[in-house]
């Protein structure tokens, strides 16, 4: 029991770090540098994870890593940065908390993988909560921010669908590291062309970049994947609720954002929807990132196995971004193709 509690505490680091990421990005990082912001988040984190698991992709996983890196890192991180800058922290965290539910619905449309009734009900309740929170705010809600959030959900859901189809395996941390590096390398020339040369961060901005890259990405992914391997799926799914709760707490208590009764009711509906859609029982949770379904030498009950509804519900990692970006699913034993 004590060992299990320690794993719960370690896994909780991830959703809390992701929830705080909205606040840190909005308050301390430059609003006009989303490409550089995403690149400086991805590259250091990728190098750190690769240092922990120095293995190279093999075969088809070279181009698969590039595709998933483009979606789950380059696209998702940029869109998440824009959403965090454009929306109040409490709003951004609540909207993105519904991403596993939107992912579940999109996977249903794209793969005909019909979700269970409880998962579908959870999706409808959660999305209704997002609508209630947005429509009852007295302050105007940024349309670019909402558009970025919706696009981030779409990009991460597409990454999830692709990862669910690419089931033969590679080591999860190594695959995530290479996705981060691939996405970051794509962003570098784009940032240089469209945003000019980077400005060396200093002071609080440097500390904020360090937090985003080291804590909210490298450490959070490592902690989340560790928990997915050792805790029941339902426990991991509930821990994911700490993500929006952290964002709302920081937004209201620290940033001074208003949260009236209608917005609070919307938040409750979102949390209830995610709780309804969470996995029931089982020994493995869904992934935080698209790479989670490709873990090496893991039995069939590994984290990441199960239907899309189960997987998406567990990957409540919005601020990190549904993990590396999208949930990954898959079934069957992983083939150890990916590491050297």
Q: How confident is the model at residue 124 (pLDDT cuts 50, 70, 90)?
A: confident
Residue 132's pLDDT band, with cuts at 50, 70 and 90, is confident
pLDDT score for 280: 58
- Residues 125 and 266: their CA atoms lie apart, in Å, by 10
**pLDDT at residue number 329:** 31
CA–CA dist 222, 224 (Å, integer)? 6
CA 238 to each of CA 96, 234, 315: distance values in angstroms, whole numbers, following the listed order: 16, 6, 10
pLDDT for 98: 76
Q: Between these two residues, 100 and 64, which has the higher pLDDT value?
A: 64
Instruction: Tell me the pLDDT band of 304, cut-offs 50, 70 and 90.
Output: very low
Residues 50, 174 contacting (CB under 8 angstroms): yes
- Which region among 116-120, 123-127, 237-241, 325-329 has the lowest average model confidence (pLDDT)? 325-329
Beta strand segments in the chain, E: none
Q: What pLDDT is stored for residue 95 in this prediction?
A: 83
Question: What pTM value is reported for the model?
Answer: 0.78
Segment among 49-53, 183-187, 271-275 with least mean pLDDT:
271-275
Count of other CB atoms within 10 angstroms of residue 120:
18
User: Could you tell me the two tokens for 222?
Assistant: 């490592």
Q: What is the pLDDT of residue 90?
A: 83
Task: Return the HEC string of 293-339.
Answer: HHCCCCCCCCCCEECHHHHHHHCCCCCCCCCCCCCCCECCCCCCCCC
Q: For residue 183, what are its two tokens?
A: 């996405």
Asked if pLDDT for residue 76 goes beyond 50, the answer is: yes
Q: Which residue has the higher pLDDT, 174 or 161?
A: 174
For the ranges 3-17, 110-124, 262-276, 298-312, the one whose mean pLDDT is highest: 3-17
Two tokens, residue 209? 């970049």
Residues sharing a CB contact under 8 Å with residue 1, sequence separation 6 or more, in sequence order: none
26-40, 99-113, 312-326 — which is least confidently predicted?
312-326
Per-residue pLDDT at 301 exceeds 50: no
pLDDT average, residue stretch 118-135: 79
pLDDT band of 81, cuts 50, 70, 90: very high
Instruction: Work out the average pLDDT over 92-109.
Output: 77
Radius of gyration for the chain, computed over Cα atoms and rounded to the nearest angstrom: 18
Residue 319 CA to residue 201 CA, distance in Å, equals: 22
10 Å CB burial of residue 337 (0-12, 13-18, 19+) is middle
Residue 331, pLDDT > 60, answer no
Q: What pLDDT is attached to residue 2?
A: 65
Question: What does DSSP assign to residue 334?
Answer: P
pLDDT tops 90 at residue 302: no
């Amino acid at each position: 029991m004590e060992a299990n509690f320690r794993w719960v505490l370690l896994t909780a680091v991830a959703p809390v770090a992701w929830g705080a990421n909205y606040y840190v990005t909005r308050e301390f990082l430059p609003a006009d540098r989303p490409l550089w912001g995403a690149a400086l988040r991805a590259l250091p984190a990728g190098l750190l994870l690769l240092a922990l698991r120095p293995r190279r992709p093999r075969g088809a996983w070279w181009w698969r890593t590039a595709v998933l890196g483009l979606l789950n890192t380059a696209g998702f991180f940029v869109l998440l940065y824009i959403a965090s800058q454009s929306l109040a922290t409490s709003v951004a965290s609540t909207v993105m908390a519904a991403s596993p539910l939107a992912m579940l619905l999109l996977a249903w449309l794209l793969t005909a993988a019909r979700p269970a009734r409880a998962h579908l009900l959870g999706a409808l309740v959660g999305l209704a909560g997002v609508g209630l929170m947005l429509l009852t705010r007295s302050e105007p809600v940024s349309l670019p921010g909402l558009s970025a959030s919706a696009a981030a959900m779409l990009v991460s859901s597409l990454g999830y669908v692709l990862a669910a189809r690419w089931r033969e395996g590679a080591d999860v941390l190594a695959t995530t590291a290479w996705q981060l590096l691939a996405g970051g390398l794509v962003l570098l020339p784009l940032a240089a062309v469209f945003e000019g040369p980077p400005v060396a961060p200093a002071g609080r901005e440097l500390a904020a970049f360090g937090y985003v890259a080291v804590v909210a990405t490298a450490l959070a992914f490592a902690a989340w994947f560790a928990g997915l391997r050792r805790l029941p799926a339902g426990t991991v799914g509930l821990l994911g609720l700490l993500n929006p709760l952290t964002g709302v707490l920081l937004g209201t208590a620290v940033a001074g954002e208003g949260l009236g009764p209608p917005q609070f009711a919307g938040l409750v509906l979102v949390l209830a929807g995610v709780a309804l859609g969470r996995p029931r029982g089982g020994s493995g949770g869904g992934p935080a990132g698209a790479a989670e379904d490709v873990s090496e030498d893991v039995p069939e009950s590994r984290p990441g196995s199960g239907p899309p509804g189960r997987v998406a519900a567990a990957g409540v990692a919005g601020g990190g971004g549904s993990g590396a970006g999208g949930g990954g699913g898959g079934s069957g034993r992983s083939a150890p193709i990916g590491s050297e």
